[in-house]
């Protein structure tokens, strides 16, 4: 590969590229032997997720992955920035794919554009690689984009996507349901109130508790999120507060006092916090607005008014809108940049506990309290199909997930089901839990985590 690198030096310079300043990764990734590690992270997503995947497997590859995502090393041609690579080198093809996964794209391939050797990123494996569709580096984020149409077919980025093979890698028994949250380094954090109100950090490879620490406040409804700098944000709903933790030292950095009883949390790419609310039964003054707060100073930036009962999940859609679901039997679509409600879809007599966007069919999956999953066409907001199979309600801790092949992952009892969303057929059922599963989440390496009242399971 080094010989190939030297022979092509003149070609790159002839195209106006400063090779040594734009391909530091070619050296750092080769010298540290990171090629095999990168093979294990081909399904990573987002720069943070890909970085975590690579460094958790081989810490020596830290410089390699940092060089790949160093935006200062992108080449500029006619005012547009490009990541450069050569299609004749399979190693550079792999780097291009990893780079594109970090930019929230499905894949990437080295190609030539106006005789320039660049990396083309795409969300469609079948649309590589005509020069008429070459995309430069896209740094647009969902949170800052605006649109003049209410159609969800206008897409700016892809959402995180995963595969599930159904092989059980690890199972741990414990007592009492916990909310588990995947950390960027591959560990899990959980909070179990009956254990003396301690946070626990779990090694997801070994299934053991690495450490525990005090949560500052006692709360039975902790919700977690990650900011772009890697800090952990923890909601203490009963105290109406967020505390931001430094994950390197597990110490408090600062706290944000709110006025909301927080039922769910969605962190936008600009680090704003979208808060869904619940109201205790004893309260007469009920408020279920979505509230968008600045994560640095806690100030309210927008208030989205419409829901009339507890809100359970909030997600970003590819066109920049938000979607939320509630006990009020509605899914609501919001343009949060303008603070306006775009559409309300009502599923009569059924609370909606979980939602997921299915890019392959441009639908949303809605998890209902009777165990049914309804598929909503987001072009005309009609229900096109219902999936039956779960014996209990679809749970409300991120219990629906879109997989990268278009399938849908769901839980609503002690089983986990994988559905073909195009024809509605049940493809497979994963069974390991004795009790109803109450949470599904993914580790940065793509492994699935499922949690019930007595078990933690990790699937490949």
> Which pLDDT tens digit goes with each residue over 296-353?
999 999 999 999 999 999 999 988 999 999 999 999 999 999 999 999 999 887 899 9
Is pLDDT of 221 > 80?
Answer: no
Give percent of the chain above pLDDT 90. Answer: 29
What is the torsional sign of CA 149, 150, 154, 158?
Answer: positive
Q: What are phi and psi of 31, to 5 degrees?
A: -70, -30
Is pLDDT of 174 > 80?
Answer: no
Give the per-residue pLDDT at 157: 34
Is pLDDT of 7 > 70?
Answer: no
Give the per-residue pLDDT at 134: 36
Nearest to 53 by CA among 168, 143, 160, 199: 160
What is the torsional sign of CA 405, 410, 416, 419?
Answer: negative
State both tokens at 148: 């003049």
Q: For residue 250, give every residue at least 6 positions away whose Cβ sits within 8 Å of its Cβ, in sequence order, or none.
A: 201, 211, 213
Give the per-residue pLDDT at 123: 66
Mean of the pLDDT values across residues 128-151? 33
Other Cβ atoms closer than 10 A to 259: 9
Is pLDDT of 161 > 50?
Answer: no
Q: Residue 103 half-sphere exposure, CB side, CA atoms within 13 Å?
A: 27
What does the chain come to in residues? 460
Which residue has better confidence, 63 or 46?
63
Q: Which of 210-214, 315-319, 450-454 has the weakest average pLDDT? A: 210-214
Which residue has better confidence, 305 or 22?
305
Categorize the per-residue pLDDT at 6 as very low, low, confident or very high, splitting at 50, 70 and 90: very low
Is pLDDT of 139 > 50?
Answer: no
Q: Which of 14-23, 53-62, 109-118, 123-132 has the weakest average pLDDT? A: 123-132
Give percent of the chain above pLDDT 70. Answer: 81
Mean of the pLDDT values across residues 272-294? 87
Give the per-residue pLDDT at 38: 86
State both tokens at 269: 């790419």
Categorize the per-residue pLDDT at 366 as very low, low, confident or very high, splitting at 50, 70 and 90: very high
State both tokens at 85: 């690579």
Which residue has better confidence, 239 or 418?
418
Is pLDDT of 20 > 50?
Answer: no
Give the per-residue pLDDT at 138: 36
Is pLDDT of 165 > 80?
Answer: no
- 51/89 Cα distance (integer angstroms): 23
- 408/370 Cα distance (integer angstroms): 18
- 207/180 Cα distance (integer angstroms): 13
What global pTM score does this model have? 0.66
- 102/108 Cα distance (integer angstroms): 10
Provide the terminal-to-terminal Cα distance of the chain, rounded to the nearest Å: 33
Instruction: Convert the pLDDT of each residue in 367-413 to its tens digit.
Output: 999 889 999 999 999 999 999 989 888 887 789 999 988 899 999 88
CA distances from 169 to 188, 334, 404, 437 (A): 15, 39, 20, 17
Give the per-residue pLDDT at 59: 84
Q: Any idea what DSSP says for residue 420?
A: -
Q: Which of 129-133, 284-288, 431-435, 451-455 has the weakest average pLDDT? A: 129-133
Q: Residue 200 half-sphere exposure, CB side, CA atoms within 13 Å?
A: 18
Give the per-residue pLDDT at 291: 96
Give the per-residue pLDDT at 60: 86
Is pLDDT of 222 > 60?
Answer: yes
Mean pLDDT score of the chain, rounded to an integer? 80
Categorize the per-residue pLDDT at 224 as very low, low, confident or very high, splitting at 50, 70 and 90: confident
Instruction: Convert the pLDDT of each residue in 100-138 to its tens digit.
Output: 888 877 788 898 877 788 888 876 544 333 333 334 443
Categorize the per-residue pLDDT at 15 as very low, low, confident or very high, splitting at 50, 70 and 90: very low
Is pLDDT of 233 > 50?
Answer: yes
CA distances from 197 to 106, 217, 263, 407 (A): 41, 9, 19, 38
The structural domains of the chain, ordered by start, are: 2-133 (no CATH), 168-459 (2.130.10.10)
- 184/443 Cα distance (integer angstroms): 8
Are 421 and 407 in contact by the 8 Å Cβ rule? The answer is yes
Q: Which of 6-10, 364-368, 397-401, 429-433 has the weakest average pLDDT? A: 6-10
């Amino acid at each position: 590969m080094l010989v190939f690198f030297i022979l092509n030096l003149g070609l790159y310079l002839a195209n106006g590229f400063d090779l040594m300043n734009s391909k530091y990764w070619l050296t750092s990734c080769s010298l540290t032997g990171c090629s095999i590690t990168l093979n294990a992270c081909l399904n990573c997503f987002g720069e943070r997720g890909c970085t975590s995947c690579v460094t958790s497997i081989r810490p020596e590859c830290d410089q390699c992955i940092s060089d790949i995502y160093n935006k200062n090393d992108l080449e500029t041609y006619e005012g547009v920035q490009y990541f450069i690579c050569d299609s004749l080198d399979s190693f550079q093809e792999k780097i291009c794919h990893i780079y594109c996964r970090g930019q929230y794209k499905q894949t990437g391939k080295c190609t030539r554009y106006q005789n320039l050797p660049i990396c083309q990123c795409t969300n469609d494996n079948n649309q590589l690689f005509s020069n008429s569709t070459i995309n430069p580096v896209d740094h647009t984020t969902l949170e800052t984009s605006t649109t003049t149409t209410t159609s969800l077919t206008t897409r700016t980025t892809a959402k995180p996507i995963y595969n599930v093979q159904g092989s059980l890698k690890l199972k741990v028994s414990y007592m009492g349901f916990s909310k588990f949250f995947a950390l960027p380094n591959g560990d899990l954090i959980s909070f179990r109130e009956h254990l003396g109100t301690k946070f626990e950090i779990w090694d997801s490879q070994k299934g053991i508790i690495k450490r525990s620490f005090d949560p500052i406040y006692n709360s039975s409804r902790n919700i977690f999120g990650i900011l772009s700098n890697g800090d952990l944000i923890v909601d203490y709903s009963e105290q109406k507060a967020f505390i931001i933790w430094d994950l390197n030292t597990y110490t408090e950095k600062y706290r944000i006092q709110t006025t909301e009883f927080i039922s769910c949390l969605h962190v936008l790419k600009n680090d704003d916090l979208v808060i869904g609310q619940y109201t205790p039964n004893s309260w007469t003054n009920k408020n279920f607005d979505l509230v968008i707060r600045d994560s640095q100073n806690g100030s309210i930036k927008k208030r989205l008014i419409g829901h009339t009962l507890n809100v359970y999940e909030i997600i970003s859609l590819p066109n920049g809108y938000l979607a939320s679901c509630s006990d009020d039997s509605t899914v609501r679509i919001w343009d949060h940049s303008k603070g306006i409600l775009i559409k309300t879809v009502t599923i009569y007599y059924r609370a909606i506990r979980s939602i997921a966007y299915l890019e392959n069919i441009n639908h949303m999956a809605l998890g209902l309290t009777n165990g049914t999953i309804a598929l909503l066409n987001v072009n005309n907001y009609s229900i096109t199909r219902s999936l039956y199979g779960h014996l209990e309600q679809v749970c409300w801790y991120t219990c629906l997930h879109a997989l990268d092949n278009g399938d849908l992952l769901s839980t609503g009892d002690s089983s986990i089901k994988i559905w073909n969303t195009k024809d509605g057929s049940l493809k497979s059922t994963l069974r390991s839990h004795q009790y109803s599963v109450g949470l599904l989440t993914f580790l940065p390496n793509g492994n699935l985590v499922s949690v019930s009242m007595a078990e933690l399971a990790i699937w490949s």
